Structure formats: C-alpha cells, structure tokens
Amino acid sequence: MGKAVIDVRLKNREILIKFLTVSFLVFTAVCCHSVARRIEMPVISRFLNFIRTSIYVGMFSVWGVSVYHRLVQVQVRRYLVFVSALMVFWMILREVKYRFIINPDAERYLWYMYYIPILVTPMIALFVSVLPGKSEADRLPGWSSFFYLPTVILILLFLTNDLHQWAFCFPKEASVWTEHGKYRYGIVFYLAIVWGVFCSLTAMTIMILKSRLPKLHGFFWLPFVPIVVVMIYVVAYALRVPMVAELGDIAAFESLLFTAFFEICILLGLIPSNTGYYDLFCASKELSMQIVDNHYAVCYAASGTEPFEKEELIRAQECPIVTKDGKRLHNMPIRGGHAVWIEEISELLKLTETLKNVQAELNDRNEIIRMEYREEHERKRVEEQNRLLDLLQSATQTQIDKVKELTESYPLVKNQEEKHKIIAKIVVLGSFIKRRKDFLLSLEDSPTLSVEKLSNAFDESYRSLRLYGISGGYTVYTGRTDVSGELLTLAYDFFEDVLECIIDKASCFNVSVADVGGCLRCSVLTDCEADFICLTEKYPAMRMECDEGDSQLILPLEGGRPL
C-alpha cells in the first residue's frame, strides 16, 4: 500500500514544480522580448524572438495535450483543445506578421486577425461553463446559438475595417495604415472589449453557481483575477502605456491569461477533470476499490481496500466474478490500466436464495391452481353443454316425440299416399326443430335477433308444407331491423302450434308478423275450422275469429306470453 498511495506532499511538490517551470519559461520569454527590443544586432534579435515564440507555442501545445488527457467531458475537452490551438495560431500569426511579412497591407490584415482568438475564446468559455454536469450525449442548449451572431459580426467588422474604419480609425493624411502609426480606436473595438468581458464574467458566474464543491468557498474569487488583469491590460494597451510594451505584446499576454483562467477553473474543480484520484480514494473509507496498471500493479487504493488476487482480477476482466465470501469482483478496463472494486452482495445472495425458494413454492401453487382451473373449466363446459341440451330438449320435446311416433308408424302403413304424408309431416316437424334450436342458440349470444332470421324460418317451414300439400305464404314487416329474440321465438312457436292443429285439415295456411299500432302481433289465417281451445291456455292473449269455414288467430307479441 505504501507504493500504491501517493503522498500529499509529493502531489503538492509536483504542482509547485509545474508552476515554477511555467513561471521560468514566461520570465525567459519576457526577457527575450525585452532584450530583442533593445539590441541593435538584427540576427540576435530575430533569434531571441524565435526563442520567445517557440516557448509560447510549446507551452500552449503542451497545455492542449494536458487538457486532452485530463478532462472527462468530451465536448469540454474539444473546446479547450480548440482554445489551445487558437493560442498557438495567434503566436504563429504574430511571428509571421513581424518576421516574414513586408507588405504593409498584408501586415495590417494579420493584425486584424488577432481579434479572432480574442473574440472566440470568451465565447468558448461561456459554452464550457454550461457543459459540466451534462452527459456526453447532451448538446449545448438552443440559446447558446445566439452568442455566435455577435462574435461573428464583430470578427467580420475587424476584418473589413479598411472599408469603414469602425474598429481602428486612421488619419486621412496617413499614406500607410499600420498599427505602428497614429490611429484611434472606434466603436467596434470598445464593443469587442465589452463583449469579451461579458462572456467571461457570465461564464465565471455560471460555473460558480453550478459548482457544489465546498473547497471553492474560500477561492471563488481566484478565476476572476485573470479576467480583471485582462481588462486592466487592454485599457493600458489602448492608452499606450509604455510599461505594457515591456511585458510583451497583446497576443502573448492575453493568451497566457486566457490559459490561466481555464487552468484555475480546472484546478478548482469548476471544470471536471480526470485528476484528484488521491483525494477521492482517501475519502472512500467504506469502499473497496483500486486503480491498477496493465500489469496489475496498484496505483491508487481506497483506505479500506482488501487485497485482490491477481488471478481473480484477470478472470474478472471477462465478466464480474463472485468470490467465496459472497462478494462480486469487478474489473473495468480504463486507459493505462484497470479499475477494480468489490461489491458486497452477501445479503443480496441470501435474498436471491430466499426468492428462489419462494419462486419454487409459488410455481407449485400455480401448478395446483392451473390444474384446479382446468378441472373447473371442464366441469363448467360440461354443465353448459347439459344446460343447452336441456333447453333444446324442453323447447322441442313435443315435436321430437311426434317424429318418433311417426317413424314407428311408418312401417305399419301399406298405403303409399299415407307413407308420403308421414314423411312430409316428419319434414315439417324437423324444419321446426332445426329452426327452433337455431333461435335458442342465437339467444345465448344476443338478446336481440335479426327479423331476417324469422323470415328464413318461415321460408323453410313453407317449403316443407308444400310437400304436405298445404299452400300459403308469410309476411314479416316490423319496421325494425333487430327485434327482441323472445318475441320472434314466440311468433314462431305460435305459428308451429297453430299449424299442428290444422295440418290434417287445411289446404291453405298464411301467417303475418307486423307492427300494428306500435305493437308487434302475429296473425294466422287458415281455410278450415279446428279445435283451438287447447291453445288458449298456452296463449291467453290470443284472439280467434271464424267465418264460413275460415279461421283467423291473432296473438299480440308484445305483452304476450313470455318464454
């Protein structure tokens, strides 16, 4: 563990060394700039300026690589790497402008291009302040797009200054427009300063408001220092204070301050970074986790970490494994090594075992319930079949008995005409039995039936009657599409009962089911007289009229005998 845990003093010493190194490099660059301004030997002056530029380009490049490796959030990393590229571009642009360009017009346009990084960097700072805390799939909010417009407009105004001179106003008598001559600042220059300060302060405010780090409370003012220094420097630069020239040009000074601003935010945790593992692991006293290298040598370990066997770590690389003491070992590959940790699952394993036992018991109970359900379902099915069979038999038992009698008497009859009548009568009774069962089964599905069902039943019965030698017809006019199934069944029963009374006497038989006065009624007309007294008990509402051998029987269906 002594080799695995990084000592706090070593960590602070590393930060101190980095700070002193950067300070030495900046001091060297400032000295090179100061000596190059005073020395009268062009070769040495150019060499010193080259060294100065190389120092700055190297520093900003190294910072960009460092940012790439330290930052966690992908989009923030891309933005800050782009900032480092802008700083390098700015320094190269300055070197090209002073060392390789002779044409004053080209030199002036390179000077205008300074304001690309000056304006873009504060806008990126604002975007970076919004992204911490968001996932890698999240994007910038829609309102951030509005910040592109002022930035792009100001950049275009600087690049086209020769057309309007709103950024830098040159004297009319000047033969050559250059930054080394006399000029004054225009409204665009001051708008650029205001816009840069606004974006920087807004970014800083958002970062502080979103931060939940307690250590920030004593140092919340620190990121404002570079912003204030930039403001002071820009004002001194605009006023052409002599000391500003000794510190270096605007490109180097502002690049350093922009970089310092972002670096302070990273160190304070305002921009999440891939560092601070020592503090994290020291705070993790109840967790068992480590970070190891590719050879499984421990780099960081929590204070309460138990030792891991290398063989177990290798096996856990494929998938998490459960140890003998009821713990789950995880091994997740990371850049340069592995993150390994123990998950306490002994209680979970006990609960899982309990749940398995409960599941087995429930499966047994469910199987018993399913068997009982199947048995109950079969019993209900048989009961329903018996119920329907009883209903069918009770509704047509009389006709079934008559068919049985006719079938038994058929072999005893010798007369062919009598045999024909027996067969025809059986057909008539069979037609009724068939249709009556159809009515009964249909009523099981719906209480109302189509009027067409009654018409079809009459039609089949009349086809059978023609075999028996009885003519006639039927009329069904109710003015309705669907009628109560009980009423239609009552009409068909009444038709059959009257028919059986006169089948051996009548030669003509007519039936009508119609709506009379808002009520349905069934009317039967036949050309014979018969004893219909037997029907009055079954149909007490029936009315009978006889006239010269004809009989008419009328039964009100609505209000008649219920089934």
pLDDT at 133: 65
Question: How far, in Å, CA of 500 to CA of 497, rounded?
Answer: 5
CA atoms within 13 A on the CB side of 61: 10
**Res 3: pLDDT:** 38
| Structural contact between residues 270 and 216, judged by C-beta atoms closer than 8 angstroms | yes
Q: What is the pTM of this model?
A: 0.53
Q: Which domains does the chain have, with CATH numbers?
A: 8-275 (1.20.1070), 279-344 (no CATH), 410-556 (3.30.565.10)
Contact 285, 121 (CB under 8 A): no
Q: Copy the structure tokens of residue 471.
A: 């003519």
Residue 480: what residue type? R
What does the pLDDT read at residue 522?
A: 92
Q: What pLDDT does residue 167 have?
A: 87
Please give the helix or strand (H or E) that residue 340 lies within, else none. strand 337-344
Reduced to 3 states (helix: H, G, I; strand: E, B; else coil), residue 211 is coil
Q: How far apart are alpha carbons 38 and 50 in whole angstroms?
A: 16
Rounded CA-CA distance 23/33 in Å is 15
Rounded mean pLDDT for each run of 10 residues along the chain, 563 residues in total: 44 76 86 79 81 89 88 84 91 83 83 89 88 68 82 93 88 75 84 89 82 57 79 75 62 82 82 63 61 77 71 79 76 77 75 88 90 84 74 78 86 84 87 86 86 90 88 88 87 89 88 88 89 84 85 81 40
pLDDT at residue 399, as a whole number: 84
CA distances from 266 to 203, 233, 240, 276, 344 (A): 14, 24, 33, 11, 34
Which pLDDT score, from 0 to 100, does residue 173 have? Answer: 75
Q: DSSP states of 453-504 as a string?
A: HHHHHHHHHHHHHHHHT-B--EEEE-S-SEEEHHHHHHHHHHHHHHHHHHTT
The model's pLDDT over 38-88, given as tens digits with 9 standing for 90+, comes to: 777 777 888 888 888 899 899 999 989 988 888 877 888 888 999 999 999
**Residue 98 contacts residue 277 (beta carbons within 8 Å):** no
Angstrom distance (rounded) from CA 478 to CA 491: 12
